[in-house]
Amino acid sequence: MNEDNLKMPLLGDDFPELNVQTTHGAMSFPKDMKGNWSVFFSHPADFTPVCTTEFVAFQKRKPEFDELSCNLIGLSVDQVFSHIKWVQWIKKELDVTIEFPIVAANDTVASKLGMLHPDKGTNTVRAVFIVDPEATVRLIMYYPQEIGRNIDEIIRSVKALQVSDQQGAVPAGWPNNELIGDDIIVPPASNEVDAVKNAEKYENYDWWFCHKPLEK
């Protein structure tokens, strides 16, 4: 694949419009998901060990995504009948019912999402796109084929984005940061007067590093 043809949405871009076939029937993205948060995640191939562990992990944590009003959507370039057969195998052999749709992504769809990387053959990389209710791409993660994703980190990221939209920036490892726990970072002051006020109003390490309790 020519690197010049490699395309992917960037942070702040609108999620590309896709009309696709899925294990839940024909769907249009982002229209069918607008109004909710969504996690789109691609996988290299059905009936492969790492991907199977990921899909089981996503399904096991689906109630946590539901609590965040966040949809799960899987994607790969396998045809929809392969997705259906794989879902049936997971149900029969692992006793796990995959409840979210899996997209049969053709090359056009895969290219729009940057899922096909040069020198990786026809398999898709492990991409994650977190999309907000306005269909804006808010976070992107890319994993190589040989490394399975940490689903807990994806849940944490959705939570952090939702909190940051309402309350402010979150620290590393939030909500278990080594310095400020689950506190929220106060935006640094842009002038001397506010710098003094913030240092007096909030807990801080300095005027540029103030923090406040998480509103629950």
- 48-74, pLDDT tens digit by residue? 999 999 999 999 999 999 999 999 999
Q: Is 210 noted as a catalytic residue in this protein? A: no
- The residue from 149, 182, 206 where one domain ends is 149
For residue 214, give Cα distances in angstroms to 159, 180, 182.
12, 11, 6
Q: Which helix (H) or strand (E) holds 88?
A: helix 80-94
Q: Out of 51, 116, 135, 185, pick the active-site residue.
A: 51
Mean pLDDT value across residues 111-117: 73
Q: Do both 125 and 48 map to the same domain?
A: yes
Q: Do both 174 and 140 map to the same domain?
A: no
- Total domains in the chain come to 2
Look at phi and psi of residue 173 and say left if phi exceeds 0, alpha if psi is from -120 to 50, else beta: left
Q: Do both 114 and 207 map to the same domain?
A: no
Asked whether the predicted pLDDT for residue 186 surpasses 50, the reply is yes
* Cα 113 from Cα 164, distance rounded (Å): 25
Asked whether the predicted pLDDT for residue 4 surpasses 80, the reply is no
Asked whether the predicted pLDDT for residue 123 surpasses 70, the reply is no
pLDDT for position 2: 45
Mean pLDDT value across residues 94-115: 87
Average pLDDT, the chain: 91
Asked whether the predicted pLDDT for residue 75 surpasses 70, the reply is yes
pLDDT for position 116: 67
